[in-house]
Amino acid sequence: MTSRQITGRVAFLAVVAAFVVSLYRLELLDPSVVWPALQRLGEFVTELFPPNWDVTRTLLGAMGETLQIAFAGTLLGFLFSLPLAILATRTLFGGTVTTAARLVMGAVRTVPSLLWGVIFVIGFGLGPAAGALGVALYTVGYMGKLLYEAFEAADAEVVEAVRSVSANRLQLFAFAVLPESANALISQLLFMFEYNIRASSIMGFVGAGGIGYYMLGYIQLLQYENLMTALIITFVVVMAIDYLSVRLRSLILSPSPASAPSPFAGLVPSVG
Amino acid sequence: MMRDAAMPDVKTAAPPYLIAALAPAGQPAANGREPALVARDLWFSYDGRAHAVRGVDLAVPHGAMTMVLGRSGSGKTTLLKTLHGLLHPQRGSVTVGANGGGLRHRIAYVPQTLGLVRNTSALENALTGALARVGTVRSLLRLFPKSTVEQAKGTLASLGLGDKLNKQVYALSGGERQRVAIARALMQEPSVILADEFVSQLDPVTAEEILDMMRRIAADGVSFLITTHETDIVAKYADQVIVMREGAIVHDSRAAALTEAEMVDLLR
């Protein structure tokens, strides 16, 4: 057996051991804990049925609010993440600027969106505004990282060619980095929107609006058949958005990044 | 790339042409024309130890096609980038035209893969060449001066792309992309165009068309410094030939003074 094989086996055994220890410490290997819990979950699942469709109208309104939180939060977050991502791009700025921008985004990303929701509820009070701002702030940290990674992946020869015409940093971004990474940018914006719909659907747990507010209420009042309706509506909407997102991607983006028409064509006055 | 214990160990023999062009810098060369670009004792290393460019002295004659012939890894691309300023030499100087510094933007550089933005139009790519003289805000809003847009259209038309101004680059053929890259370079209103392995990816007929076009541009006063590893192209199109080996210039003369067989010998 080679030393590489020995190392591989030791690593595998270490992972298995860590897994078993974790399960033990979490009491997930104790039948006296697990079995009653599974029984209670079984009872909970039976109480979810049949769903109560009488609350559909109310929940659809709340779901609309959730979508607004996700939409406004994603776009707000995108607008603030864009300049930060530009500053964090090493092909455009030096080490001090990029490190500072990355630190800001890293710090913002450390706080989960739900906690940002709590913080904004303190400032803005209960309601969807706090939810949208919570989602926006989390988006800044997350989207900013995705963006600067996409910007840095822009074709180095294109960036070098535009740099060689003595373009300044903003021109370099607008005429080389942005068009080269436009596909990735659109793709990540859609991904972030999908992600934020899921995040927004539980913003109501902390009073920050949307369908999560009703879900929490139904759990606290033991109205599980209403909760089931909320879960079905959330599931259907999330699946529909996922589908639309895939369709939108295939409409906007071509298969090869190298041969994609610019999604930004037409957003600025055309020359000529 | 050759490892050097100390930089100044390697000396390249300066040919008579070069001495005439360099003494003193910026003064007319033996042919009576000022060199468009002069490099003196240029050294560049990526890692501080092995030098990709070693003590290069060269002068690019005005309005001529100078070709740098060398095998893969001989330092041709690094030399072009160092001459342009995309890479900063550890030692040596580059002088553009008779007046020296401050004219760096008048050196155009075309990378081997052309560096065109493939999902924008031929016209937009050509206009990129004018960025240095268009204000930042105007350029970001794509509000280029009308005269600049007309200049770009005219340049593309003169290169045979008048009917493809608004075609996306990804939809153009290899030869047409080459022309767009030349148009972008010409929009810099350059005195020198540095082109890296410019026609190596084209079929022979298209390559000849492009090189004929470059000769016409050179005749209008724009100097070319083109890297290549193809001796037949040098024999047919170069006015001046510089042979590079392991980062150093081992030969510099009028192209007519060398046969293709001699060029191959120099490459070995």
Q: Residue A47 corresponds to which tokens in the numbers above?
A: 């109480």
On whether the pTM is more than 0.90, the answer is no
ipTM summary value? 0.81
> What tens digit of pLDDT does each residue of B53-97 get?
999 999 999 999 999 999 999 999 999 999 999 999 999 999 887
In percent, the amount of chain B with pLDDT more than 70 equals 85
Q: Residue A224 corresponds to which tokens in the numbers above?
A: 């599980």
B128 and A157 within 8 Å at the Cβ level: the answer is no
B165 and A272 within 8 Å at the Cβ level: the answer is yes
> What tens digit of pLDDT does each residue of A124-156 get?
999 999 999 999 999 999 999 999 999 999 999
CA B149/CA A265 separation, integer angstroms: 18
A161 and B105 within 8 Å at the Cβ level: the answer is no
A259 and B119 within 8 Å at the Cβ level: the answer is yes
pLDDT over threshold 50, residue B16: no
Write down the pLDDT at residue A187.
86
Instruction: State whether residue B72 is helix, strand or coil.
Output: coil
- To probe the interface with B, which of A91, A160, A162, A164 has the most B CB atoms within 10 Å? A164
Write down the pLDDT at residue B32.
58
Amino acid at A97: V
pLDDT band at B20, cuts 50/70/90?
A: very low
Q: Which residue in this structure is represented by tokens 């204000």? A: B135
- Name every residue in B having a CB less than 8 A away from some CB of A: 84, 86, 104-105, 108-121, 123-124, 127-132, 136, 139-144, 149, 152-153, 165-166, 168, 170, 184, 188
pLDDT band at A261, cuts 50/70/90?
A: very low
B86 and A265 within 8 Å at the Cβ level: the answer is no
**Which chain A residues are within 8 Å of B152, Cβ to Cβ?**
272
CA B172/CA B179 separation, integer angstroms: 10
| Count of A-B CB contacts under 8 Å | 101
Residue A126: Cβ within 10 Å count = 14
- To probe the interface with A, which of B88, B105, B119, B177 has the most A CB atoms within 10 Å? B119
Instruction: Identify which of A94, A203, A185 has the alpha carbon closest to the alpha carbon of residue A147.
Output: A185
**Which chain A residues are within 8 Å of B109, Cβ to Cβ?**
160-161, 164
Cis peptide before B24 (omega within 30 of 0): yes
pLDDT over threshold 80, residue A254: no
B128 and A167 within 8 Å at the Cβ level: the answer is yes
What values do phi and psi take at B43, rounded to 5? -130, 135
CA B20/CA B17 separation, integer angstroms: 5
Amino acid at A123: G
> What tens digit of pLDDT does each residue of B218-231 get?
999 899 999 999 99
Strands B240-245 and B65-70: parallel
**Which chain B residues are within 8 Å of A269, Cβ to Cβ?**
141-143
Please give the order of strands across the beta sheet that includes B2-3.
B2-3, B50-60, B37-45, B91-96
Task: Report angle CA B61, B67, B70 to the nearest 5 degrees.
Answer: 140
